[in-house]
Amino acid sequence: MYISDTTYQGEEKLVISIDIGTTFSAVTFCHVYAGAKPEVRAVLKWPGQEDTAGDSKIPSLLAYQAGEVRFCGAEALEYLDDDDYEIARWFKVHLHPESMRTLEQPPAYGSPIDAMSTIELPPLPEGVTLEQIYTDFIRYLYSAAHSYFIRRTPDGRNIWNRLQERTIIILCTPNSWDIAQHTFMRQVAVDAGLVTESDVDDRLEFITEGEASIHFALAHAGGLNWLQAGAMFAVTDAGGSTVDSTLYECKSTEPLILQEACASECALAGGVFVDRAAYTLLKDRLFHTRYGSEEWVMASMRAFEKKTKRVFDGSQESNVVAFGGPGDTDRNHGIVKGKLFLSRNEVSRTFEDVVARTVESCSKLLRGRRVQHLLLVGGFAESPFLRARLAFILHNQGTEVVTVDEPSKKAAAEGATIWFLKQLVKARAARCTYGMHAWKVFRRTIHSEREADARVRPDGTKKIRVFDPVVEKESILTNDWEKSIRYQTSYTTFPLDLERFSRNLYTWEGEGKSVWLRDQQGNLLPGMRHLCALMADLSGLKGSLTRHRSAYYEYWRLDYEVVISFKRGKLQAKLRWTENGVKREGPVTILPEATF
């Protein structure tokens, strides 16, 4: 685990980082206090895993009975084949944005066994909501962290009790997760009792798996002699259901300062999709045998995941799936003493689709840039086959794939806590364009295709509603960066309801630039998405609104600003206005890291 090379001089804190993965989860923590060098520690002992103490990961599983959670993690494994229990697994994929769960383009490389146009998800237990599953599981993880801390830390109980109400909670999320997922997880943290409604904004932090991974990778990279000012390198976190990749430029080595060079990538790929392909393969291989029942297929799939997948590097001509006992033999179908033999081509095919998507995601990030190193971390990154294929393909592009010395199955959990201590990344790149739906002066050279939609506004100017960018895609956002855009809203009758004034913020995630927000039928354009509403109570302006006259109308004009800022590692949005000569601001909306 990581031990800081500098002495901490700030306020005493307890920091807990939680990474809920698709197949495995992990928790790390750090007790920081003045005069000590912070040490990041992981929960290494979990209920049901007493015989594997020292393992920082735990299965992301919950066993439910009659809608109530009975067992979590390793203990839930015992009930996978018990009809009296329903198992929640792969539930993280249910939370992925819709744009990730429906894929329109096939991979650019390879011939997949079964292209994933949509994800086939295991159903949730009957009568159990996704929010309940997350709440039950995060409460379980937090409770396990509490037990481990007080038992393995001198004076641990008193330290925990003293700091509990101001403990910082960090949740790791995929690069692509959005404000909907962050809002969901925020409520889960409150419902599970990790934070309260009154202190959640001060104590709950989100970090992308990509940024957590860079802090983990650099902490365990075995020396940074290769890292020089001006150099670019990439970090890829290959997990259970997503592969998150980010490109960084080193701005300084003393001190080490990094900046995102472009928008990060998040591909729907990972170990669970190899498992899904293996399930199809094994079901087909066992279909005409006495081992074709669902129980035998699932047993063979678990054996494949536990060993076959983890040791396969693409060179083995024969690969064993040990799913049965000495008496289980069917030589006509390649089964000898409980062992099913698969050819190299059969096992390779279970990987091809995932490898194709991973390669395409990495190649898109590196395209047109001179990048010498790609640091590969994450649970799926430990697959010898993925490492070999990625290294072979990227070598031809001049990029060396480097893996860290430490086992990186749960790199995000440790990296998140290191991030809290170091925060090496001082600038990020916007992954999309932020903008408003606004009236702008009509210009025939730009807006001619929709001239029929132009209107003479109360101020007498011919205007048309367009998508007005506030922050352009790929913009580099440094700490303390701020941008404000002035807007006006005109009323032909005196506005009475200003207590709940709001403006909608949108993101454009398509290619190039978009002049329009909606099509001519009023629907949001493909690639355009409503992000959030910025709210403010402007009732104090009623007494200062002045009446204006144009050649066409008598109207009242409301002036305000939309402010986007980057502070404390968070992208924020709010409304600002002047009331009786004093600058006022509305509530701050924290924008998700998925968009920058």
3-state SS, residue 14: strand
The residue with tokens 């600003």 is 561
Residue type, 406: E
User: How far is residue 467 from each of residues 41, 489, 505, 514, measured CA to CA in Å?
Assistant: 47, 16, 10, 7
DSSP 473-488: TT-EEETTEEEEEEEE
Question: How many C-beta atoms surround the C-beta of residue 386 within 10 A?
Answer: 29
What the block records as the tokens of 139 is 């409460």
DSSP 351-413: HHHHHHHHHHHHHHHHTTS---EEEEESSGGG-HHHHHHHHHHHHTTT-EEEE-SS--TTHHH
**pLDDT at position 428, please?**
77
Residue type, 381: A
- What gap in Å lies between CA 262 and CA 240, rounded to an integer? 24
- What gap in Å lies between CA 513 and CA 518, rounded to an integer? 14
B/e letters for 20-44, b = 16+ CB within 10 Å, e = fewer, are bbbbbbbbbbbbbeeeeebebbbbb
Structural contact between residues 411 and 221, judged by C-beta atoms closer than 8 angstroms:
no
- What gap in Å lies between CA 300 and CA 288, rounded to an integer? 15
Residue type, 443: R
Host domain of residue 63: 13-210
**pLDDT at position 118, please?**
44
Residue 100 lies in a domain: yes
Question: Omega into 125 within 30° of 0, i.e. cis?
Answer: no
Our measurement of the distance from residue 16's CA atom to the centroid of its chain's CA atoms, rounded to an integer in Å, reads 18
CATH number of residue 133's parent domain: 3.30.420.40
Residue 28 lies in a domain: yes
Domain boundary among 210, 244, 273: 210
The residue with tokens 């290769």 is 226
Residue 539 lies in a domain: yes
Residue 115 lies in a domain: yes
Residue 373 lies in a domain: no
Residue 44 lies in a domain: yes
What the block records as the tokens of 469 is 């960018």
Q: What is the DSSP letter of 3?
A: B
Structural contact between residues 558 and 488, judged by C-beta atoms closer than 8 angstroms:
yes
Of the candidates 15, 112, 13, 125, the residue with the CA atom closest to the CA atom of residue 69? 125
Structural contact between residues 185 and 134, judged by C-beta atoms closer than 8 angstroms:
yes
**pLDDT at position 116, please?**
41
Domain boundary among 210, 232, 254: 210
Residue type, 555: Y
Structural contact between residues 500 and 471, judged by C-beta atoms closer than 8 angstroms:
no
Question: How many C-beta atoms surround the C-beta of residue 554 within 10 A?
Answer: 11
- What gap in Å lies between CA 190 and CA 168, rounded to an integer? 13
Domain boundary among 153, 183, 210: 210
The pTM assigned to this predicted structure is 0.78
**pLDDT at position 340, please?**
96
Structural contact between residues 479 and 469, judged by C-beta atoms closer than 8 angstroms:
no
**pLDDT at position 405, please?**
65
Total domains present in the chain: 2
Residue 88 lies in a domain: yes
Q: What is the DSSP letter of 523?
A: P
Phi and psi at 3, nearest 5°, equal -125, 125
Residue 356 lies in a domain: no
- What gap in Å lies between CA 438 and CA 463, rounded to an integer? 10
Per-residue confidence of the chain (596 residues) as pLDDT tens digits? 788 888 888 889 999 999 999 999 999 999 999 999 999 999 998 988 766 655 788 999 999 999 999 999 999 998 988 989 999 999 998 998 766 654 433 333 333 434 344 456 789 999 999 999 999 999 999 999 999 999 999 999 999 999 999 999 999 998 888 778 888 999 999 999 999 999 998 899 999 888 898 899 888 876 677 888 888 999 999 988 889 899 999 988 888 888 888 888 888 888 999 999 999 999 999 999 999 999 999 999 999 999 999 999 999 999 999 999 999 999 999 999 999 999 999 999 999 999 999 999 999 889 889 999 999 998 899 899 999 999 999 998 899 998 876 665 578 999 999 998 887 677 778 888 999 999 999 999 999 999 999 999 998 999 999 999 999 988 888 877 889 999 989 898 998 889 889 999 999 988 899 999 999 999 999 999 898 888 889 988 888 888 898 887 899 999 999 998 876 556 788 899 998 888 988 887 766 554 44
